[in-house]
Structure formats: structure tokens, C-alpha cells
Structure 1
């Protein structure tokens, strides 16, 4: 028993080593039929003798959804019903539709939203007690509950208790565990799955999902918040206290975008001007006031938000700032505006200067310790443990600070202590010359100063992308995480930054780019991602070993597997054999198909999902934002269909139907430019505009799986074309066309392609007498595209039966008839015996 408990704790701890997982419950932001529910006991109830405990991690989001069911539990023998209900800001435990003494106020208990909080509900029928744990708060009361009973359990919107449940709060749940009579029996981590059933990793149970969303997606996927347009270059500053971004134009106009309300408020100034320079010289001071400062004029101007006025009477602008892309902060000791590093007048700087408002003098600070080499485009962030400490990461420059002597990309980390006036170099990464990445202006340090996050972008091209990088304070490693954000980097004319949205526990990415050089108009885009970001697919940029946490997880996993193998060795061996047969069912006969490798150089793969490889065998799929991906596919698919391409008007109808023609034209032009920038890395592909049509030209060295399949199908395949048949099977075995991309315009392409593929493969099966391995492979591919295809059913069941794999044949048949009843609401007309008989064999 003690070993089982230790093993259970081991599994729980190993789960926490992953990036955030869990179910994200869709609430009243969607219609009632699309809200999330989990039926834990959808097949059968859970029995207990004396007691049971239900425990999970709970996170409530800060939204307008203030009411709903968290948990519903029905005990069968005594007909007891327990509901855990949330009504902002209170959590209630309801017993048999009557309120109990368990009434927890999140605000009074200082329980934060958007944070994981331990939840535990225990029923002790032997001692007549019910207890509730919420965070570090514990409650207990008496209850009458029968012994030796069973219960059903669900989370969110599940209608099985004799009344209608249609409200669920905006919550997320992970790591649901159930202890029965003091022993851990069930554990659902709620990690992302492709179907709607979650496996209990401690037993054979499953939980049924309805309309799930996944926490991990919000930690790996950037969500666009807003794009704003400005008539001239805006200076920007993040107001951490009010969770808003301030935008200031050189004429003094000040706008504020609030993340809390999602609104932009613009105030035309009544008097005064900022001291405006083009290097983002705007900051929030220690009094939470907006201040613009000048490094050329040795001056500053403070904005009074009440009077909507600037303290500087005259307009002071300078088109050529002294130091571009420098870092800035409010000095933690003297509270003066302080700048670090920067680029200007063909020089790189490593100086640290503070501005004395009274004497109007910039004073260079003299710090002891290590020397920061001159640079610009570095990333700066405050320590979360020590308010006097900042960390400076990366940049571009050289040791002598002169541009004519060349440039060096820095991947180093410095600790700067303004109390002790000391700089300490913590580490430096050595990268090859091809690795040319720059960070954005700010970084976010984790709560215990163990790691930091920033955004990196490759700066070899103007049309580039931002991606989160995770670094470790005391360990020289960097990892890419999550998807990317498009970014136009034109050196001193571009700006990007990273902020922390505390109440929502999210990171905010901001990009600013010039949209019209003649008019000097600018566009600012804002994106969010859940904090801490992370994924199972972290990329070690140094090709070093895996992080210690992941190593530790695999150690835990190995121990657990060894323990299970020791006790259930025979069962596992049998299961492995069956699974191996199932996995190899595409090639179960002795004569295997020869190996065909799908090219991964200059290749475009559409079957099974969207994937693009460049001329260096590098997967560059991450560089395609959702809009770029859809634009790319529109041009490609219409070009492959008739060789003509797609008109600008059709592109506008599909991608920007609600925008006026001039806006849509501008969007199209910007995205075509970005797309062409990406395609430069693929040798042999070109986007042309001819006769009012956008067309994609693929040279012979480009491999596109859809084009390859079309050519194979257009030729007359014979019984001897084994190589061509093998290529078709290997390509289509990856899956259906663009299965994870679902815009409406794509449906016609998918339907046409699926119909052509299925009919062609059916014809091959009926027309030619292929080897059994080929026939079985073709039937599996058909099933992948048409799960109710009767030809594939007959061929597969027949071949498996001939080979003696009767259980696999029967399982294939049973799965088919279950799905048939579900889809057509009637019983399938042929028995298994009829399917495998010679008279019905295809």
C-alpha cells in the first residue's frame, strides 16, 4: 500500500514537469450546445466502502461568466446529490439542492484568478464527515452518507442527473485524482488527445469529453488581441499597474489601450508637447506618470492625464535619436530615468546613464564587476526576488563599439545590481555564424528568478517572425517555445516588446511597423499567450541534452513502467503483440512494400496536415501565421486545380470579407510580401500576378504531395506499377487533406480530393489482383478517407481472416457496425460471416 501511494505521488509530480495541461472549459462565450463537460463515469459508476476523495487543480478565469456548475456527483443508494457551484466571487457546495455551510469567497480568501488552485472534496461515510480544501483553506462539516455505495461524477455541462445543467463557469481543470477508501485508484491528467475519450492512467477507465478546449493550446498559441493604426510613429509604454499600453504621437496626442476592457481611448492634448524622439523614449515613472525623455536635448516632459497636458511648453522633436533600440528603466534607488546600451552615429554603446531632472544632466553610472560589451537590441527585465536587480540578455554590437569593425551577435546574460552597483556576467552561449537572432526590448523573469522569457527573431530578412525563447538564469541554455508571430524588421524603424499581464496571467507581445513610408503611417499589433508558455516540443537551440525536468520525468516513467511490467508481464506482452499487429496491419504479410521516403527538401506536404520544408531540409511551417497559411493554400490549390490561379477579388472574399476594398488590398499586399519572403528559402517556387490572377508556379524540383497524387491518378496505373502504388499509399497513409485546417472555402477541395482518391483506390482493388500486402495497405488508406467504405471493409476483413488474424478482423467489423448504427440509425445488413465469405469478397 505504501508503495502504491508513493508511486501515485511520483506520477503526480512527474505530470507537473510538463508545460501546462488540462481542459479549458468553454463557457457562455459559446452557445449552450457547445459548452464543455466531462463525464467521468460515462460507462459505469465508481464504488466505495468507507470514503472517497476527489481532487484536482482548478483555475477560474477573469471573465464576465459569473455562474455555473464546477462538479456534479450523485450517490446511488441514498440518492444523494452534491453540486459544487460557482457564482462570482463565491463557491458553494449544494447537497440535495440545499445550500451547505461550505461557502467560500475567493476574494476574502485571497484566491487569484487565472492561477492553479488545489481543490479537494472528501466524503467520509464511516465518520459522517465532509471536508473541502480550496488552496490552503480547509473546511469540515458533518454529513450522512451511506457506506458501500457507488457514485457518478461529472464536471461542467453534463445532463444526466434528472435536471438540466447548461451553465459552466470560465474555468480550467487538470490532474483529477480519485482515492477510494484511502487508496489512489484513478488519475486523469487531462492531457490533450485527438478523440473525445481520456484514459485513466491508473486503471482501464475512460472519461467522456464534450466540446473540449485545451489549456496547452493557450500556452503554445499566440492569440491576436488587436491591431491599431496611427497616422505617425507612436511611442509606447506599458502601464503595469493599470494593465494598459500608452501611445504618444509627436503632436502630443495620447491614447491608452486597456487590456481589461479591450478599448482604446484617445485624448487630444490641451497644452504642451512631449520631447519626442523616434527611439521609443517613453516610460512610466515611479509616480505612475507617463514621461517622454530626450537624450539629445537633455530634457523630459511629463503627461498630466487629468488635464491632458504635457509639462514641456515647446515642441521638441529630433528625427535622429542619439541611441536607437536602447533599454530603459526607472532606477530602483534614485528613481531616475536610466538607459542602457543602444546604437547611434555608427557606434554601439555599453554605457548606463541616469537623468537628473533638476540639473537636466545625463550622468553615466560607474558600476564595478564585469563589463558589458557595446551593443543594442538587448532584452531587459527586473528580478522578481530583488527589486534592485535587473537582467540584460543578448544584443548586437562588437567589443570596440565601432560599426565599421563588424557586428557580433551576443547570447549572454548579465545580472546588474543597482544597490551594490555591480555587474556580473552569468553565462554566454556560443553559436555558429548562421544563428542570427535578436531579442525584443524586454524580458519576463520567472517568480523565483530561475528562468526568463523573451521573444527572439531572425534578423537576416525584413519579413521575419517572433518566437518565445526560454532561458535559465544560472544555466546557459535557450529553448524555442510555441508558435510564431509575423514581424517586419526594418532595423531602426521597427519595434517589438514583451509585457506581463498579471491579472490574466498572460504574456503580451507587441509589434510596430511602418505601413506607408510616404505617409509615415504605422500599425501596432498586440498578441497574448498564457503564462508560463510551454510545449512538449521545446526546441533546444544548442543541441544539448534535454532539460533536467524532462530527464527526471523519463526516469519516473521508467520506474513506473518497470513496476507495472513486473506484475502484469504476460498481459502487457499479449497487448504489445496485438498492438504491433494492429500497427503493422498495413503491411502484415511476409512480402512487405518497399520503403518510399517522402521528400523533405523543397517540399510542401498537405496530406495529414500542413507542413513545409525549405531547401536546407528545415521545417519552416512555424513561419506561416494563420493568415499567411490560408493565403498560401488559396493560391496553391487554385493553381493546382486549373493552372489559372485565383483573383484578388476571390482572395478578399475568403480572407477579408468585412474590410473595404482599399484595406483588403493593403492587407493582401503586406501578406503577399511576407509570403514571398518565406518562399525565398524554398528553391523552385514563385508567386506571380498575371492577367489579374495570383498563381503559384512549382518547378520540377519542388515536391508537393497533392500534385504528386494528382499526377499518379491521372496516369493509367497497372498491376505492375508497384513503385507508383507504393508512393500513393505512403503519402495518403499520413492522413486526409489538410485535416487540421477548416475554413469553409476548403471544403470543396477536400470533398473533391477525397472522392477522387477513394474511387481510384476502389477501382484498383476491383480491377487488379495485387499482392495481399498491397491490397491490405490500400484498404487501410481508403478507411482513412472514408471510414464507412464497404469495399475497404470487405477486403480488410477477408485478408485478415485468411491470414488467421480473426480477432483483428472481427474488431474491424465491430467498429464498423457500431459507427454504422451511430451514423445511419439502423443496423448494418451484412453479418461478419457474409463479409468474409468468398461470395462477397471484392
Structure 2
């Protein structure tokens, strides 16, 4: 019960930061030495060990001017051993008794990025005489003399207790510090924000002393103002994400370049030419990193030469009122042409998509299939992270007929625009709310796996308003508001705001532009930053305009804590009064952990599609939807019978509406792309033999489905627990390709699921495994077949034997509720019958 309460309490205190980051942000040489950050883990007493200990945490080094400092200091008492982990740009050193070890890790050589969380682990095994270091996916090992049965003191950053002076700490952040003693995790400090100068670990209540802490979560919840820039006239703005530069161009041709990395701005007086300037932010960086201005009125473009500071258009544009205010823009991923979407002009809203042909100087309207977008402006647009041919468009304001005279409607919807397939798909729409009206900024940032996106939104009922981060999900109509706000003056067509992602800093950059309040007609552009991904969420309620959900959740969980504490006290009293002697409680872990799924040269299909190359890099993003489906077709049919799949069958599944010649061309092009991707995987080959396409996997390539198929065909028994643990660890991730659902895949999924469930049921019925393995097998069966009665009996029986009656009852009640929902009848067996030792179905 206490463990359950502890887990519940940990969940509750972390609920408000469920999507947030946590950890300690170490103040470095940006502050005086006495204000720099340190954490004394053993400020009250040392940590003892018998044979070995491991220190593990997540480490992030920031991109700053600080190039040196102490990450970790450790002193072993009996042998007087001193271990220091020191960073000196770009190298990390492990120093033993004032001498360098062989652990010299160059961040650049190891391709370790700044402003990213990297796993760090230092292990000392005195019994084997080994010291090992893990940094990211890189592992180093060496010999060391270290006494057994000793104790050590430990600190991070600036803490002076080792007989030498420490006053330098690198610009770093640390979270989730765990200490393992003799193979068991004994201490864990997540480093969640606290007002005290001491933090207790959540496993043993050991305290750590904090000196000048700065909390990581504040940088994910709080916008920091970078700079305010002033311009003599309205600037057009564009972001160069490759070089992380923001361009500001004026009507007279003068162009300013602001570097996010260095926070400096350079004025480039033009040598010749002019932009084709219009007042609706018609400036863009193309795929050649050229700065281009475009005009709807002039039907022209002007390109800026970054070296000689000249524009290609010779004449100044005087008629600079645009046709379309607050439209969206992009470079078409197929044609590479400037493409615009939606907008407002001449009392009308647009849903037209146009591309500019520079050869004919004509704006051509693009006609896409699928769902129709309502005419609108002030929408938010961003490219998919997984498929460069796909963009997402969110929200805006307009109406179904596109005429301003008919009123305004606020849209809270999401569209997926596939420029390769010429198709628009409406993903979802949130219910409109007349009491809560907001608009997004021009751009959005899609998360790495296309699971969600971030944008900025603002209430537009008044001009003095504010911008706030909103997070929404690609496949689920939910919206969250995050962090604090940014002041914003929205005067419709005279204002502009945007959102950029800075990869090197791993930050979102917000930009606002408005006419200044001074007498001179100047324009102010303000820049703000927040760490990516932004922090704690509060779900909005669009139906009521209420933001009280967090408060309701807080009180709900507070009541739950009090209730469970009461139950615990009563239960303890009952045990004491009745003097009941309970049998020893079995330890049943949630999942098997001894086997680790390879993430080098591996193809993973359970729980979702994922591919790692020979260097351990995740290359899943390189598979477009078409390439992914083609790859899976060939792979799954190859694993099925070793024969592969015919060209005709591929055409039937992927290009059924195309003539054979075009389908053949598509297949050839995509096979070539596939071969280019899998070149980075050692031991895999796509072959064409006897009219069949086939993927051959050598032994050094791990494919979880192939491993499961081999295991299921073998004669598994209770004596082969290693193989059982491998099966459980693989299948625990989830069903086969659960995020991919073409019709041809259904039969393969059904067959695979049937084989897995029947095989695991047979194992449970025929063999007497250890209880923790039986429980793990039942959990896996439920993952694939939620109405499986064998799994229900095994799980409920084991939990009851362990004394976890409430968990057993919860499992049973969930089952019978789902049974009633699916079959519209009551489940025939009672809980008592289910947990009986010899009950049969």
C-alpha cells in the first residue's frame, strides 16, 4: 500500500508538469562566482557500497560562451580516490586522482548536440576493477583500483569540500539523477522545482543541498525577451532556418540581418535594385537560401544577392497595398515555386492556393483533391517533420462564402496538405465558442514524430492583447495552453506575429511587429525565446471558455490522496488488531528489463514503425508514407514465406488507379529511394528474383517481427526464460504497426496477433513459469487481446496471491465493463470464480 501511495503521490506532484521538462539549470560564468550553482548530494552523510555503484543522470550542455567547468566531483573515503568529470569545450574528461583517464569524449566527434538531453552514466565496479562511462549511445571502459565496502561523497557543479577550490561550472542542466548501489536503484532525484534549498530523493528520502539553483522548467514556461529592434518604416520579414537568421527588408531596399545565435544585427545598405514590396509580409527564403520578395500586384519577384547586397528588380514599387493580407506562404516541395494559401483582401476571404511561375511571371491556381478549406485569413502553417511534402494548416477567421459582409467565423480546425498527392485532408475541428475567440500566428512548429504541433495564439477581441503558446495534437482534437504570455498589439492588417524554431538553441522564437507609439512613424519588432518543448499544460475548454481544469484535477487528486491515506491507516489498524500473519509478498515487476531491444542496425515494427542504422541513428524520418508502405509490403511478404511480393501485387496495393506504365515508373523511383535509405543499414538488401521483390536480412540485422516469428515456431519451455523475457520485452511495446492502417495490412496484423495470443496462452497453460513472468505474459496478451479470459484469470489470480486485491478487482471490473460494452451481456463468472485456483473457462 505504501508503495502504491508513493507512486500515486509522485504522479500527482508531477501532473502539472506532465509535458514539461524538469531539472536543475546551472548558473555559470554569466553570474558572479558566489552565485554559481552547485548540488551537494551527500551534504549530511556519505553513500555506502559493497562492490559497485552507478551514477546516472540526463545531461544537457548549453550553447554559450562558457567553455570550462566541473560537472561532477566524487570522493571515495577508504582509498582516498577522487573522481572528477570536467568539461572543456568541446571535450569531456574523466579525471582520477588528478590524472586523466582514457575517457576523453569529444562532443563534436561523437555528434552530441548542445541543448539536448543526453544520457550520462558513470559506473565503478570495485570487484571487477572496472570504471565505465556511457555518454549518449557511446560506451567507454577502463580498469581502475577501487576498494570494496567503502563510501563516497558526491556533488555537482560548484561545491567546495574536496580540498581544492571549485568555482567553474559549465553551462549545463541535469535531471533524473539516480544512484545504483550493487545493482539496485537506491536513490532518485528528478530535480523538480522546489522553493527549499534541500531536495529529497523519492526512493529513500535522502536530502541533497542546493546552492543557487535555477530551474529548467522556468525556461520551458517563461518567455525571455531577446531584443527589440526599431525600423524607420514597415519591414518585411523572413526566417532562414538553415542559418538561423531573420531578414528584415524595407521598401527602399535596405536589408537587415539578425543572427539568433549571436544576437547581433547587421545593416546591409543596398547597392542596387528594389524588392517588389507590398505590406503583407511577402518575403521568403527559398530552398537555395536566397531571399525573395514577391508581388501579387506586379506578378513578379525580386531576388536579393546576399554578397553584393542588390535586388534583381530594378524599379521601386509604389503601389504596395497587397491583394491578400495575412496569407500563408511556403516553397512548394515539388515545383520549388513560391506558394501562397488563403488571405484577406478587398472585403473578401480566400481559400485559394497559388504558385508563382518565374518563367511566365504568372500566379497559377492549384487545385487539390479531398476536403475543402473554408475561406480564411490569419491561419498558422508549418511543414511535417516526417514528410517534407506535407504541410499542416491550423485555424483562422473567415466564413464559408468568403464575403466579409456576411460576418466572421473563427476556425479551430486542422488540415493536412499533401503536395505530392495533391490532396487536402481535414484532420479535426474543435467546437466553436463565441465567448472565446482567438487567432494563431503565421507559422506553427510540428513535433518530431508528427504527433503534435505548437503555435502562438491570441484573443483578438481587443487591440492590447497577448500571445500564448498552444499545443495541439495532429490526430486528436485537443488544445493546451502553455507557459506565460507575450504582450501584443493587434491592429489587424497593421500587425504581424510569427513563430520560428531555432535548432541549435533548441528554442522557439516569437516575433511581434507593430507601429510604435512614438510621434515618428517607426516600427518596432520584438523577439522572445522559450525552451523547446514548452512546459506545463492547461487544457482549454472551448465550450465554456473556462480554464479551471487544472484546479479541478488538483482537488480531485488531493481528495484521492486523503482517501487512500485513510484506507491505509484503517488497514494497518485492522492488521494490528487481528494480528494476521501474511505470507511473504512476491515481487512482480511491471515488465521484464534484462533484455534490451537493439537500437543499432534494427527494424522495429511492434508498437510502431522505427528504423535504426548501423551507427544507432534513428532514420525513421527518411521514410515518406509511400516509401514506408512499400518497404513494409516487401519486408512483411518476405518474412511471411520467404518468397516476397510481385510487382503486380505492389501496384494493386499502392497505385491501383494508375496505368501499368506509370505504376512501374513510380515503383522504380521509390525502390531506388528505398535502396538509398537502407544503405546505412549493414546487412539488408532489396532484391528482384523470379518476378518477386524481396528483402534479405543478414544475422546482424535485428527485426523484432522476425525474432518473434522464429520464437513462436520454436519449442519454448519454462527452462528457456531468456527467450521468454526477450519475447515479453518486444511485445510489451504494443501491437504490430499500430499507427499504420492500410487495408492490405489488416490480414497480416490479424494473423500475427492470433499466433502471438495462442502461443502465449499455450505457454501459460503448459508451463509453470515464475510468477513475475506469468504476470508479464498476461499483460502482453491483454495488449493484443483485451478480452482474453486466460490472461484475466492469470493476472487476477497472481495479484490476489500477492495481496494486491484492489488491483486484481480493478482488472476484473475493467474487463466486465468492456465485456458488457462489446457483447451487450453480463460476464458469466464472478470475481471469486476467476481467482479460484482450478477454475476453467
Give a deviation string over 1:2-57, Cα, whole Å, max 9, x none. 99999999999999944100000000000100000000011100111111111100
| Residue aligned with 2:203, SS | coil
Distance 1:561 1:141, change over 3 A: farther
Report the count of equivalent residues: 572
| Range 130-139 or range 393-402, more displaced | 130-139
TM-superposed CA distance for 1:545, in Å, is 13
Counterpart position of 2:283: 282
Counterpart position of 1:364: 365
CA contact (8 A) 1:478 1:542 kept: no
| Residue aligned with 1:177, SS | strand
Counterpart position of 1:117: 118
TM-superposed CA distance for 1:204, in Å, is 2.1
CA contact (8 A) 2:18 2:536 kept: no
Partners of 1:26 and 1:312 in 2: CA distance: 50
TM-superposed CA distance for 1:262, in Å, is 1.1
TM-superposed CA distance for 1:540, in Å, is 5.1
Counterpart position of 1:476: 477
TM-superposed CA distance for 1:105, in Å, is 0.7
Q: Structure 2: any 5+ residue segments left out of the alignment?
A: 575-841
Counterpart position of 1:184: 185
Counterpart position of 1:525: 526
CA contact (8 A) 1:275 1:317 kept: no
TM-superposed CA distance for 1:319, in Å, is 3.5
Distance 1:12 1:456, change over 3 A: closer
CA contact (8 A) 2:480 2:538 kept: no
Partners of 1:557 and 1:459 in 2: CA distance: 36
TM-superposed CA distance for 1:85, in Å, is 0.4
TM-superposed CA distance for 1:288, in Å, is 0.3
Q: Structure 1: any 5+ residue segments left out of the alignment?
A: 574-842
CA contact (8 A) 2:443 2:455 kept: yes
Counterpart position of 1:126: 127
CA contact (8 A) 1:275 1:312 kept: yes
Counterpart position of 1:836: none
| Residue aligned with 2:516, SS | strand
Counterpart position of 2:441: 440
| Residue aligned with 2:277, SS | strand
Within 5 Å, give how 1:421-570 maps onto structure 2: 421-516=422-517, 519-535=520-536, 537=538, 539=540, 541=542
Partners of 1:183 and 1:213 in 2: CA distance: 30
TM-superposed CA distance for 1:562, in Å, is 11
| Residue aligned with 1:277, SS | coil
TM-score, normalization: structure 2? 0.64
| Residue aligned with 1:492, SS | helix
TM-superposed CA distance for 1:519, in Å, is 4.1
Partners of 1:516 and 1:50 in 2: CA distance: 70
Partners of 2:139 and 2:16 in 1: CA distance: 25
TM-superposed CA distance for 1:559, in Å, is 12
Distance 1:569 1:34, change over 3 A: farther
Counterpart position of 2:213: 212
Partners of 1:392 and 1:250 in 2: CA distance: 29
Distance 1:152 1:539, change over 3 A: farther
Partners of 2:394 and 2:186 in 1: CA distance: 47
TM-superposed CA distance for 1:518, in Å, is 6.7
Counterpart position of 1:688: none
Give a deviation string over 1:325-352, Cα, whole Å, max 9, x none. 0000000000000000000000000000
Partners of 1:509 and 1:124 in 2: CA distance: 49
Partners of 2:81 and 2:563 in 1: CA distance: 41
Counterpart position of 1:408: 409
Counterpart position of 2:307: 306
Counterpart position of 2:49: 48
TM-score, normalization: structure 1? 0.64
Partners of 2:434 and 2:547 in 1: CA distance: 24
Give a deviation string over 1:502-558, Cα, whole Å, max 9, x none. 100000000000015874310000000000001165555567999999999999999
| Range 511-520 or range 437-446, more displaced | 511-520
CA contact (8 A) 1:341 1:376 kept: yes
CA contact (8 A) 1:462 1:490 kept: yes
Distance 1:563 1:43, change over 3 A: farther
Give a deviation string over 1:785-837, Cα, whole Å, max 9, x none. xxxxxxxxxxxxxxxxxxxxxxxxxxxxxxxxxxxxxxxxxxxxxxxxxxxxx
Distance 1:163 1:77, change over 3 A: same
Distance 1:562 1:58, change over 3 A: farther
Give a deviation string over 1:584-603, Cα, whole Å, max 9, x none. xxxxxxxxxxxxxxxxxxxx
Partners of 2:13 and 2:49 in 1: CA distance: 22
Give a deviation string over 1:728-783, Cα, whole Å, max 9, x none. xxxxxxxxxxxxxxxxxxxxxxxxxxxxxxxxxxxxxxxxxxxxxxxxxxxxxxxx
CA contact (8 A) 2:9 2:561 kept: no
CA contact (8 A) 1:218 1:529 kept: yes
Partners of 2:158 and 2:559 in 1: CA distance: 37
Distance 1:152 1:382, change over 3 A: same
Counterpart position of 1:824: none
Distance 1:549 1:97, change over 3 A: farther
CA contact (8 A) 1:378 1:439 kept: yes
| Residue aligned with 2:318, SS | strand
- Tell me the C-alpha RMSD between the 2 structures: 3.3
Partners of 2:569 and 2:56 in 1: CA distance: 28
| Residue aligned with 2:252, SS | coil
Counterpart position of 2:327: 326
Distance 1:516 1:546, change over 3 A: closer
Partners of 1:275 and 1:211 in 2: CA distance: 53
Distance 1:517 1:559, change over 3 A: closer
Give a deviation string over 1:664-684, Cα, whole Å, max 9, x none. xxxxxxxxxxxxxxxxxxxxx
CA contact (8 A) 2:540 2:546 kept: no
TM-superposed CA distance for 1:383, in Å, is 0.3
Give a deviation string over 1:699-750, Cα, whole Å, max 9, x none. xxxxxxxxxxxxxxxxxxxxxxxxxxxxxxxxxxxxxxxxxxxxxxxxxxxx
| Residue aligned with 1:358, SS | coil
CA contact (8 A) 1:477 1:542 kept: no
Counterpart position of 2:247: 246
Counterpart position of 1:626: none
Counterpart position of 2:204: 203
Give a deviation string over 1:362-415, Cα, whole Å, max 9, x none. 000010000000000000000000000000000000000000000100000000
| Residue aligned with 2:220, SS | helix
| Residue aligned with 1:131, SS | strand
CA contact (8 A) 2:323 2:346 kept: yes
| Residue aligned with 1:147, SS | coil
Counterpart position of 1:737: none
Partners of 2:554 and 2:349 in 1: CA distance: 44
| Range 17-26 or range 364-373, more displaced | 17-26
Counterpart position of 1:338: 339
CA contact (8 A) 1:565 1:572 kept: no
Counterpart position of 1:397: 398
Distance 1:544 1:512, change over 3 A: closer
